[in-house]
């Protein structure tokens, strides 16, 4: 969060399983949960997690399973309809967001 003076302030942290590998996360402002914003991250437990930035409790709102190794990186396409996740074995999975 940027304050009135233009400096960054810590807004939120989320715990994920990470011991050995660097894990990359992404912020997705278009995918909102009731006026909030979403952070998506990989994890060494082979899952992809979605966190609602505005929720104080139970911030994890979705978990994707399908990798057989630690998920190191996630990235959305420009309209956030597709999410790519990659793991330490070289597998890339493309996830399509369901339209409701």
77 within some domain: yes
Residue range of the domain that includes 90: 25-96
Q: Is residue 65 part of a domain?
A: yes
Residues 40 and 56: their CA atoms lie apart, in Å, by: 17
pLDDT tens per residue, range 22-79: 777 776 766 655 556 788 999 999 999 998 877 778 888 899 999 999 999 999 998 8
Domain presence at residue 51: yes
Residue 2 lies in a domain: no
Give the total number of structural domains in the chain. 1
> Helix-strand-coil percent breakdown of the chain, rounded to 5?
0, 40, 60
Q: Is the pLDDT of residue 1 over 60?
A: no
| The two three-digit tokens of residue 42, written as one number | 């990989």
In a domain, 30, yes or no: yes
- Judge whether 1 lies within some domain: no
Task: Note whether 36 and 53 are within 8 A (CB).
Answer: yes
Please tell me the pTM assigned to this model: 0.75
In a domain, 47, yes or no: yes
Residue 84 lies in a domain: yes
Rounded distance between C-alpha atoms, residue 5 and residue 100, angstroms = 40
Q: Decide: 44 and 23 in contact? Cβ < 8 Å.
A: yes
């Amino acid at each position: 969060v940027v304050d009135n003076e233009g400096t960054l302030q810590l807004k939120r942290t989320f715990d994920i399983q990470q011991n050995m590998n660097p894990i990359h996360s992404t912020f997705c402002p278009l995918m909102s949960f009731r006026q909030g914003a979403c952070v998506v991250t990989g994890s060494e437990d082979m899952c992809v997690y979605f966190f609602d930035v505005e929720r104080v409790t139970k911030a994890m709102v979705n978990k994707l399973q399908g990798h057989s190794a630690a998920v190191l990186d996630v990235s959305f396409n420009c309209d956030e309809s597709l999410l790519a996740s990659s793991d330490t074995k070289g597998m890339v999975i493309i996830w399509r967001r369901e339209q409701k």
